[in-house]
Chain A
Amino acid sequence: MKRAFAILRHNAPAIIVLVGGIALWEAVIRGLAIRAFILPAPSSIARALGENWTTGYQILPAAQATLQEAGGGLIAGALLGLAVAFAVARYPSARDIVLPVGIAVNAIPIVAFAPLANQWFGSQSVYSKMAISAALVFFPIMINVLRGLTSVNASSLELMRSYAGSEMAVLTKVRIPNALPFFLTGLKIGTTLSLIGAVVGEYFGGLNVALGRVVVESASTLSFEVTWAAIAVVSAVGIVMYLAVLAAERVLIPWHPSVRGERVA
């Protein structure tokens, strides 16, 4: 009870700004009589959300489908990023080949490939969306994990040497624990990217029940309240995914300065 109160107090400024912002938005729309196709009022967005939750545009099942695509893409991209990072860290000569190519590939706006991914995997398939997500997630994970595996304190390596520790022991006891916070940072960046990949993939066709489709179709029929409702739900999904990584950080790296600093005093 006391702890719940402390958390509430800690977050009070953010909550006040959020609630105040929504109230101001509502007041401005009503006061200036702004038309819904410019910017609908929060109350009408909420109404649209309620009306289309499971019926009509079916926002709830759509959110589930999008979450599945983004989550699948995130996992696939993370695994791929981990695999490449470990390989490159293990064979330093590979670094000179992989890194320049990786950086060049990363400069390509991957979402531009969304229509092609639909061609390759089938536009109705969840895999085309996952592929876009995975491609976006891959790079930040790979770069972060690689940095974590290689930026190991020189004295830590000497210490392991003084204990006659094997390469494997150095990997499991020094490099991997050192890389864990870096991986989680990459994963946090990845959550947002994976949602972008999924939603943009959906814009170019796919399952009828998916948030990207809701955005495209509601906008084309000028139901902008529904468009905004879908955007709000996408944002909520993104926040939930981000919070899930934060929760994982608290469990996995309680010793890390970033986690230590977040504790409510």
Chain B
Amino acid sequence: MTGERVTDVPVVSLAGVDKDFALPGGATMTALTGIDLDLRRGEFVSLIGPSGCGKSTLLRLIGDLTQPSAGVVTVNGKPAPQARLDRDYGMVFQAPVLFDWRTVEENVRLPLELTGQERTARDARVAEMLELVELPDFARHYPYQLSGGMQQRVAIARALTFSPAILLMDEPFGALDEMTRERMNSEVLRIWEQTGITVVFVTHSIPEAVFLSSRVVVMSARPGRITRIVEVDLPRPRGVETRESRRYFEMVTQVREALRSGEGSGTSDDSLASIERAEAEGLTG
């Protein structure tokens, strides 16, 4: 996979995608409308926008965790549901979603248990993943014994165990403090460079989006749509110097202005966020 970085073959493609949510009382709410987006293999793409612009919904559409009302979602050249069944992507949520009853290595092993992989190959892969996120010394710890940043690293290791083509990350560092977040950003870039994976990264932090991405997809709310795509031409590898460079500040300003111009009425729409939550909880039943 590393050989063909950033080719023209889209690894994720959304064409004419709409997403409506049914509201209680028979009304519908348009969460996303007219989404056309192609992601190139090996790209690092951020989705940014005000709360309620549907950026998480867009990510969940790619992952087949929710289905489009209109349009086509293609992942790895297949319909999104097939890509999910083929385990073509790994998902990292805002909360680490580790199982309390499993140690770190058992959590990372979980996806491999679902495929019934042979034990020694499995254990080797888990060790390799813990090496990748630099947590091999914590293999036998329980999640409660780790800091928030470490828990999220375990979640990343778990998402990567299948060597998926795509990594979907939904505001993964939103709950972390600024220092930890910056460290995690560098960590994610290192892993991205090491594995050649395509990353789709939802965030509401402009600096985070600029620092990480090849492209930043700027969205606006009510209804959610893509207003601009900003190419980030900062040189790689990126590090502390990047955050202090003039070009970086220019890019941050550019994204901020793109966000502001897309704001329209100037208010964000929190009701969509609550519907997304309700929909996710609907899976419990």
Contacts and interface: CB of A to CB of B under 8 A. Distances in A.
A150 B284 contact: yes
A163 B91 CA distance: 9
A256 interface: yes
Given A157-B283, A162-B89, A255 B100 contact: yes
A164 B84 contact: yes
A219 interface: no
A157 B142 CA distance: 20
B85 interface: yes
Interface in B46-93: 63, 65, 84-87, 89-91, 93
B231 interface: no
A131 B86 CA distance: 51
A153 to B, nearest CB: 7
Contacts of B280: 154-155, 158
B114 interface: yes
B97 interface: yes
Interface size band for B: 20 to 34
A158 B65 CA distance: 7
B13 to A, nearest CB: 19
Contacts of B110: 163, 173
A177 interface: yes
Chain A binding surface SS class: helix
A169 interface: yes
B99 interface: yes
Interface string B100-122: 11100000001101100000000
Interface string A178-189: 101000000000
A10 interface: no
Interface in B182-241: none
A240 interface: no
B125 to A, nearest CB: 15
B91 A154 contact: no
A263 B280 CA distance: 36
Contact of A163 (B95, B114, B282): B114
Interface of B: 63, 65, 84-87, 89-91, 93, 95, 97, 99-102, 110-111, 113-114, 142-144, 280-285
Shortest Cβ-Cβ A-B pairs, 4 listed: A162-B91, A177-B101, A154-B281, A255-B142
